[in-house]
Structures are given as structure tokens and as C-alpha cells.
Structure 1
Amino acid sequence: MIDPLSDVLSLLDIASARCTRLEVGGRWSFRFPAKPALKFAAVLRGRCWIALPEEQPFPLGPGDTFLLANAPAYVIANDLSMQPEDGMSFFDWEHSNVARHGGDETALVAGSFVFEGGNAQLLLDALPRFMHIPGSDRAATILRGSLAVLDEELDAASMGATLMTRRMGDILLVQTLRAYVAKEGTSSMGWVGALTDRRIGAALSLIHNDPGHGWTVNELATSIGMSRSGFARYFKELVGMAPLDYLTRWRMHRARDAMRRSGASVGSLAQSLGYASESAFGNAFKRVFGRSPTQLRQAENAE
């Protein structure tokens, strides 16, 4: 059986990865711009705050780790009354992965991953933009260790570094998701959180293990021992969309990936994903991505 989260992660290709370190002392405040990436960070020592737009500042202490999904603009500071400096221009990031200012009472290490293509949105759209794992949580220790390994891999550029970087990205993400769901529950995690529910997780596994099957709401409900109406309502409550809408979305992301990796034809994709015609497949594809398969292929080839 394919694990749905692993199935989604298999579609994500890391376009770039970087590990950075910030060491600061005295009073300080820095702002950083939004970035279409996953950003993991750990506080190695000291205390500070992270402030995201339209949210209350969040305190961070030694050992805390956090994840920014589709990383929004943010301010990190130990004195929120200060006007923040531009963290990108204040330090020489072009020539160094380590930034220092005023001492080293506070130190953070961060790893960021930028993904190729549009399949990353299937994951990023389901995640809260800020996930915090306290230093007292066992998972925080594991995450700090994983960031340290990533730092070594990116710095050494040793044999197999590309593969290790990809795997470390997957490991960091899965560890964070597990810890966050255990702490906060599933309500804010869309389909990712729904994986931990015994019945809806089973339905998602059925879809991912056979996306070309002509699933109906009734068949999925029967397979996991629920009534049709109860299943449809509960699935939408946890996942954020109706069962067949999720099926269509997953099929189209699979199709997009196959087009990008192997140049698969529309006809072969339509047949393998359960569509009676290329026209029906094309209409579903356009509903999900806003463009036909041909238009999307041409746009991605031009990039």
C-alpha cells in the first residue's frame, strides 16, 4: 500500500536548498521577505520573537524549532520595539551562509527548500504557514539533528550530496508534520492532518493506491464502513474538499508530473487515470490548473 504523504512527496523536486546560521547579540530586529519555499529553523541558544503579518508575535526559546510553509514575510527580533532592519541587505548572504551581528548570545540555524514545478502547492496549500515545535518536545531534538546533517551536506558537497539533500528535506518535513499533528491535532492541516484519521486516512489511501479507478462516493464510504452521507460530510470537514474533488485534483497532479518527467501523451494519461476520452481529461485538467494540458506544457517548456 502506498502511503499518501509519501506519494505526494514523490512528486516534489527540490530546485534549490540552503542552510544558514544567524548569530546575534545586544538589541536586534530583522525582517525577511516572503519566499515560495519551505523554511525550517531551530533556536540553538538565546530567546527571541517571530512576528508574522496579521498575527501576534510568537516567543521562541532554546531548542524550539519551527516551519514556515510558503514562507511568508516575517520579523525575527529580541526587541519588538525596534524598527527592523532589512535582513537580506544587512548581511552578506551572497558570500556567506553565516550572519553575525553584535555578539552571539542568540543563535539560529535554518534550512530552506525551493521546489520545482507547481506540484508543491498540493502540499503547501494544506499546511499552516507557521508550525512551532517546542524545545521540550522530543521531535525538536530530532529536527535540530537533521538540520545539522543538512548543514554538513550542503557545506561539504560530498558524493551523493544531492540525494542526501533531497532526503533530508523529506525527513525534516515528515518529522515536523508528525510532531505538529501530535501537538495541535488535525483541524488546520487539510488532507495532511486527515491522514491520521483512521477512516478518512483509509479512504485517502484507496484513492492514492488506485487513482485510475472509477471511484464513487458510495464505494469509498462502503469500503471504510461509513454511510455515504456521513462519509461525504466528514471527508469535507477534515480535508477541506469533497471526495471526488480531491480525487480529481490528485489525478491532475499525477498527470502534470508525468507530462513533465516523461512527456506522457494526453491520451495515455486519460486512459490510465480513468477518463473515457481526452476531452473529459482535458476539461478536468483545466478546472484544476486553469489551462489545458497543451498550454501548461508549452508554458513550462518556455521557463
Structure 2
Amino acid sequence: MNPFDEIIHQMQVETSLYARLHLGAPWGIRFHTGEHARLVVISRSDCFLRWEGLTDPVRLAPGTCMIVQPQVTFDLSDVPDQSVIACETLVTSETDGAVAYGGSGAQTEIVSARFSFDAVAAEPLFRSIPALVHFPLNETHAALIRATLDLIGMETTAGEHGSGFVVDRLVNTLFVQALRALCSNDTGKTSCWLAGLGDRRLARTIHAVHSDLARRWTVEDMAQEAGLSRSSFAALFKSVVGEAPLDYLTGWRVYRVKMLLTGTDESLLRIANLVGYDNDLSLSRVFKRRTGIAPGRWRQMMKHKGTVHLERASVDAELEVA
């Protein structure tokens, strides 16, 4: 399993809200992601983006995709200086998927969806991309996303039994398709493992490493997978991925440990062996150096966090019943 597939599998993505917005000029909407990530696709006509990370408003052409991380506020509008209303006033949990807003001018269509996920599992992915990134879809990715949007539209319109379930799964698919499109696009990309997957030689090494983290990897072993000399491989890896090969290996071992600590009851010794350490003491030293806390403490914190969430959900359910 490559790192992208591993993260998507661990993230447990769930759709929290989806809407297709039919907007007539003049219009302007302010989006705040809160605790969620947001996906936006400009499917017809163009619009302007305003965000604190931009010096000036940016025009987004049809076929533009946006991926926005939690706790980001941004505006979309028909003209750069348009007044805006909060998205929450247009789209609520009762929204059936289609919303019309604005005047009788030029028509723009935007698809927007919010997603919840395991933040710890998603950390390597969202650390590698900007808080807000917009990029054009190439022909292949545009066709896939358009097909998924068409299916969502058909399910929403038909209203058959189980359509809500199907739409949720399709929107989750849409999110993965957008992330995949981003990984193959150079827009906003810095040196990171996503860039490494785009290099044919480094991708072979990355796939091999992730398939067998327990192996006692050396830089020579990694270079052999890439078909390069040790020095050439080390230099290429550092320039593309942004860190030395063994530092990269350590980072992903710690990530796998986090997932095993939170998702299983395996002993620390067993987890250490699964990710390439001879004993739990060696693992603990590396884990604490990387995270600032011991692995046992990490497991306790994550279990407590889960308990708090369950208690909160129970209280909410009781309030709804009452």
C-alpha cells in the first residue's frame, strides 16, 4: 500500500454536508470550514476567490477544484469586491442538495462539500499541502469528477430508497478523486512525499518502503530500489521529498505506530517489531523524540479523547430524545 492509499484508508472520511449551488449575479458567499475540510468544484462559469492567504482576489475558471483545510475562511463571488453572506444561511443539514441564490445575471454553478475525518490519520497529507489550494483539473480527472457529480445529481433527483447512503459514498469518492488530482498537479506543491510519488524512480522506493516498514532499510537498499547510486539517490530524495531518506522512513514509522496505538490493543513490543525496531525501548526513544510524548501516554490520550467523544454523543442523543 502506498502512503496515499494508507492515509485515505486510515482517515475514515465521512461527508457532513453537500450542496450544488446555482448562483446568479450578483452573488457572494463566505465559507468557514470550522473543524471540517471542504471541497469546492467550479463546474460552470467563473468566479473570484478572496482569502487572507492571497494578496489580491483570484479568478477561478470553470474546471477549477479547491481543497480547503479546517479553520479556514474564504469568499467566493461573481466580482472581486462583492458583498457576501454566510454559507450557513444558504446550506443547512436539511438542504436536499440543490440551492439557488443571487440575481438574474450570469449563472455560475459550484459544488461544495464538507468532510469530517480522523485528524491524526490525515496529518501527513494535510501537512504537505497549503491550507487552501486551488488547481485546474486535467482532462482525465475532470471527466472522472464530472461523472461522479452526474451520478450524485441523478441520485439526488431520483430520491430512491437509500439515495442518502449512496450520495454520501459518492461524495466521499469525489473527495478522494480531488485529492488524487491534486497529487498529480504541481500547483501549490512544495517538496514533500507527494512530489516523491510523482517521480518514477522515487515512487518505486516509496512504495517498497511502505510495503515493508519492518525491513531494516538502509540508504543503499532504497537506492537499489530506485536504480540509482547511493549518493545520487540521497541527493535526489532530499531535493524532491524535502528530507533525508532515513528521516522520511522514521517519520512514517512513527505515523504507523500512532495508527496501531489508537486502532489496536497490540503490545508496544509487538508494534515495535511491526515497524522495524528490535525492542520497545528503541521505539519509545524515537517516538518521544518525534512527538514529545511517550507512546504509552499517546495511547492513553487517544483513548480518553474517544471516551469524551462518546460521552458527548450520548448527551446529544439524550437531548434530542428529550
TM range (shorter): 0.7 to 0.9
1:87 lines up with 2:87 in the alignment:
yes
Q: How does 1:161-180 map to 2 (within 5 A)?
A: 161=165, 165=168, 169-170=172-173, 172-173=175-176, 175-180=177-182
Equivalents in 2 of 1:61, 1:107: separation in Å?
A: 11
Shift of the alpha carbon at 1:202? 1.2
Whether the aligned pair in 1 keeps the contact of 2:14 and 2:117 (CA below 8 Å) is yes
Equivalents in 2 of 1:186, 1:53: separation in Å?
A: 16
- Comparing 193-202 with 148-157, greater Cα deviation is found at 148-157
Specify whether residues 171 and 6 from structure 1 end up closer, same or farther in structure 2 by C-alpha distance, changes over 3 A only: farther
- Which amino acid is the alignment partner of residue 132 of structure 1? F
Whether the aligned pair in 2 keeps the contact of 1:48 and 1:76 (CA below 8 Å) is yes
Q: Counterpart of 1:212?
A: 214
Q: Counterpart of 2:263?
A: 261
Equivalents in 1 of 2:219, 2:209: separation in Å?
A: 11
Q: What's the secondary structure of 1:127's corresponding residue?
A: coil
Whether the aligned pair in 2 keeps the contact of 1:133 and 1:176 (CA below 8 Å) is no
- Which amino acid is the alignment partner of residue 79 of structure 1? V
Q: Counterpart of 2:237?
A: 235
Equivalents in 2 of 1:36, 1:110: separation in Å?
A: 16
Whether the aligned pair in 1 keeps the contact of 2:41 and 2:66 (CA below 8 Å) is no
Q: Identity over the aligned pairs, expressed in percent?
A: 25
Shift of the alpha carbon at 1:204? 0.5
Specify whether residues 292 and 242 from structure 1 end up closer, same or farther in structure 2 by C-alpha distance, changes over 3 A only: same
- Which amino acid is the alignment partner of residue 158 of structure 1? G
- Comparing 34-43 with 284-293, greater Cα deviation is found at 34-43
Shift of the alpha carbon at 1:33? 1.8
Q: How does 1:154-303 map to 2 (within 5 A)?
A: 158=162, 161=165, 165=168, 169-170=172-173, 172-173=175-176, 175-180=177-182, 182-184=184-186, 188=190, 190-303=192-305
Equivalents in 2 of 1:260, 1:152: separation in Å?
A: 39
Q: Counterpart of 1:77?
A: 77
Equivalents in 2 of 1:160, 1:54: separation in Å?
A: 35
Q: 1:123-169: CA deviations, max 9, x gaps? A: 111224313225x734223213223445667876728938x845753
Whether the aligned pair in 2 keeps the contact of 1:186 and 1:194 (CA below 8 Å) is no
- Which amino acid is the alignment partner of residue 9 of structure 1? I
Q: Counterpart of 1:101?
A: 101
Shift of the alpha carbon at 1:24? 2.3
Shift of the alpha carbon at 1:17? 3.6
Whether the aligned pair in 1 keeps the contact of 2:32 and 2:74 (CA below 8 Å) is yes
Shift of the alpha carbon at 1:77? 0.6
Q: Counterpart of 2:29?
A: 30
Structure 2: 5+ residue runs without aligned partners?
306-322
Shift of the alpha carbon at 1:252? 1.7
Structure 1: 5+ residue runs without aligned partners?
none
Specify whether residues 170 and 46 from structure 1 end up closer, same or farther in structure 2 by C-alpha distance, changes over 3 A only: closer
Equivalents in 1 of 2:18, 2:64: separation in Å?
A: 14
Specify whether residues 139 and 297 from structure 1 end up closer, same or farther in structure 2 by C-alpha distance, changes over 3 A only: same
Specify whether residues 13 and 274 from structure 1 end up closer, same or farther in structure 2 by C-alpha distance, changes over 3 A only: same
CA RMSD of aligned residues (A): 3.0
Q: 1:248-280: CA deviations, max 9, x gaps? A: 121122122122222222111012212122121
Specify whether residues 281 and 183 from structure 1 end up closer, same or farther in structure 2 by C-alpha distance, changes over 3 A only: closer
Equivalents in 1 of 2:80, 2:187: separation in Å?
A: 30
Equivalents in 1 of 2:169, 2:259: separation in Å?
A: 17
Shift of the alpha carbon at 1:187? 5.2
Which residue of 131, 136, 141 maps to 1:133?
Answer: 136
